[in-house]
Amino acid sequence: MRPFTYERADGLAELARRALQTGQGQVDAEVQFLAGGTSLIDLMKLDVLRPRSLVDITPLAAEHGTVELRPDGLRIGALASMASVAVHPGVVEQYPAIAESLRLAASAQLRNMATIGGNLLQRTRCPYFRDPSWTACNKRLPGSGCAALDGINRNHAVLGVDTSCIAQYPGDLGVVLAALDAQVELAGPRGARRVPFSTLHRPPGGQPHVETTLLPGELITEVAVPAGAWTRRSLYLKIRDRASYEFAIASAAVALDLDGETVRSVRLGIGGMAYRPWRAAEAEAALTGKPLTEANAEAAAEIALRDAVTNGHNAYKPELGRRTLVRALLQARAM
C-alpha cells in the first residue's frame, strides 16, 4: 500500500474546506473519504486506488447514521451500517426489498463495517480493474482499452455497456433503490443538493474512470425512498454461484401494487448484469394495467433484456436475467 495521510472529519463544514481535492466518482482522486473501508482499503492494498490522503468520515455517523420512517417515505443516513438497516423493523416490514438486498449482501462482518453510502459507491469486481498487472483498463487507466471485451467476461455486464467498459455494478441495494425511485441527499463545498439516485452513476460514455456525477468534495449524506403502495409488496431475488457470501450473477428487484390480478403499478430493477443500477422502465410500462400472468411477465422480461449486448462468456446472462425477472414477479404476486 502506498503512503497516505489520515485525518478525521468531525463535521461537514470541515469536510468542505478540504473538499476540492476529492472526487469520489474519480478512480484517480488524490483524496478519498473513508467510511467502512471494505472496498477502499481492499483496492488500496491491490494498488488500484492510490490516494495521498484519507479523510475518515465515520464521526459523521452520529448525525448521518440513523433510519427514519416518515409518512412520505424512508430516510436512511449514509453512515448507517448495512447491518443496522437490514434489521430495522420498519424497513423489514414496509420496505422488505431493501432489507432483503442488504441481508443477502456480503457477510455479517462486512455488513457491520460497510455503510449505506459506501455500499452504493462500491466499485466493480471486474478482475481486470482489480489487477493492475493488466495494462488495458479504461476505468483504471483512461484510454488504455478494455481487457474484458475479449477476456474472461463471464460475470461482466450486458446492459448499459459500451466498448469502453463492460464492468458490472456489483451492488444489491442500488438495484432496489433504482426501482423504488430513491433520491440521494448530497453535501459538498457548494452546499447541499438532492438528486435522483438514477443519475448518481454515470453510463460509461467512453469515460468509465468517471463513475459518478458527484462533484469534487461531495459526499452522500442521506438516501430518501418515497412511500408508495408498492413498497410493502416488494422483494429482491438474488441468483449467485454459491448459496451465500457471493455477488449476484443475476438479480431482480420487484415492487408491486396489484388491483386484484391487475397491475396498478410495478417497479423493476435488474442487477448482476448491468453497468450501473438498472431500472427496467419499459418493462414496467408493458405490465401496467394488465393482469400479472406468467405470459405477461415473460413478455415484460423480454422487453427488459432486449437491448442486452453480450461478449462471449456472458452470453448466458440475458436468458438468466429474463427468468430471474419472471420468477421475481411471480413471487411478488404471491406475497
The site for another protein (CB under 8 A) is made up of: 1, 3-6, 34, 37-38, 41-42, 45-46, 54, 56, 58, 83, 106-110, 112-113, 243-245
Question: Between residues 36 and 272, which has the closer beta carbon with respect to another protein?
Answer: 36
The least distance separating another protein from the CB of residue 143, rounded to whole angstroms, comes to: 28
Of 256, 246, 248, 265, the residue nearest 321 (C-alpha): 248
The least distance separating another protein from the CB of residue 42, rounded to whole angstroms, comes to: 5
Question: Between residues 5 and 262, which has the closer beta carbon with respect to another protein?
Answer: 5
The least distance separating another protein from the CB of residue 87, rounded to whole angstroms, comes to: 8
Strand order in the sheet with 5-8: 5-8, 53-56, 31-34
Question: Between residues 8 and 306, which has the closer beta carbon with respect to another protein?
Answer: 8
* Helices 317-333 and 294-304, axial angle in degrees (round to 10): 140
The least distance separating another protein from the CB of residue 35, rounded to whole angstroms, comes to: 10
Residue type, 15: L
> Scanning the structure block, which residue is given the C-alpha cell 484519507?
54
Question: Between residues 55 and 274, which has the closer beta carbon with respect to another protein?
Answer: 55
> Scanning the structure block, which residue is given the C-alpha cell 453512515?
79
The least distance separating another protein from the CB of residue 123, rounded to whole angstroms, comes to: 14
Contact 66/80 with Cβ under 8 angstroms?
Answer: yes
Instruction: For residues 217 and 250, give the distance between their C-alpha atoms in angstroms, rounded to a whole number.
Output: 33
Residue 221 in 3-state DSSP? strand
- CA dist list (Å): 137 to 2, 70, 141, 146, 154: 21, 44, 6, 5, 17
DSSP one-letter code for 282: H
Instruction: For residues 183 and 225, give the distance between their C-alpha atoms in angstroms, rounded to a whole number.
Output: 6
The least distance separating another protein from the CB of residue 133, rounded to whole angstroms, comes to: 16
Instruction: For residues 83 and 270, give the distance between their C-alpha atoms in angstroms, rounded to a whole number.
Output: 23
The least distance separating another protein from the CB of residue 126, rounded to whole angstroms, comes to: 15
Question: Between residues 73 and 170, which has the closer beta carbon with respect to another protein?
Answer: 170
Question: Between residues 42 and 298, which has the closer beta carbon with respect to another protein?
Answer: 42
Alpha-carbon Rg for the chain in angstroms = 19
Strand order in the sheet with 219-226: 67-70, 73-77, 219-226, 183-188, 191-196
Question: Between residues 37 and 291, which has the closer beta carbon with respect to another protein?
Answer: 37
Question: Between residues 83 and 177, which has the closer beta carbon with respect to another protein?
Answer: 83
Question: Between residues 104 and 148, which has the closer beta carbon with respect to another protein?
Answer: 104
Instruction: For residues 41 and 49, give the distance between their C-alpha atoms in angstroms, rounded to a whole number.
Output: 9
Instruction: For residues 166 and 203, give the distance between their C-alpha atoms in angstroms, rounded to a whole number.
Output: 10
Compute the C-alpha angle 143/272/46, nearest 5°: 50
DSSP one-letter code for 239: E
The least distance separating another protein from the CB of residue 92, rounded to whole angstroms, comes to: 14
The least distance separating another protein from the CB of residue 212, rounded to whole angstroms, comes to: 22
